[in-house]
A = this chain, B = another copy of it.
């Protein structure tokens, strides 16, 4: 039931923001609500567009500030999709997560998950003298559509 997960993230994020001492400003709340609706990573630019379409436009600076705060609290994860632009994706409270295949032609993001991949990474993390907090896996190539 993905809808429930999304709602969960939104309220979870707002609670965590409040617990961290943030007030409930309109711009940040709008950013949280927009992010709660996304299925995959979104860039600051796309988010700005989305918020403008929704009516309550939010200043670019406020968007970046909110994204940074959310990322710092561990509520968002950064992901470089196109060269030079960062996209942001929800971090689910439960820890479930996916990785991405990115089409070099059209930029499409295709999410995937795989248990044996996670196990392999956990094993590596376990034997390294490095405190692994998170991991990214990105596949690059061409999507089904662009291959033809």
Contact = CB atoms under 8 A, between A and B. Distances in A.
Interface residues of A, number: 37
A29 interface: no
A114 B120 CA distance: 8
Contact of A80 (B80, B124, B132): B80
Interface in A64-104: 78, 80, 83-84, 86, 101, 103-104
Number of copies: 2
Contacts of A129: 144
Interface stretch (A4-12, A14-22, A43-51, A134-142): A134-142
Interface of A: 78, 80, 83-84, 86, 101, 103-104, 110, 112, 114, 116-117, 119-121, 123-125, 128-144, 147
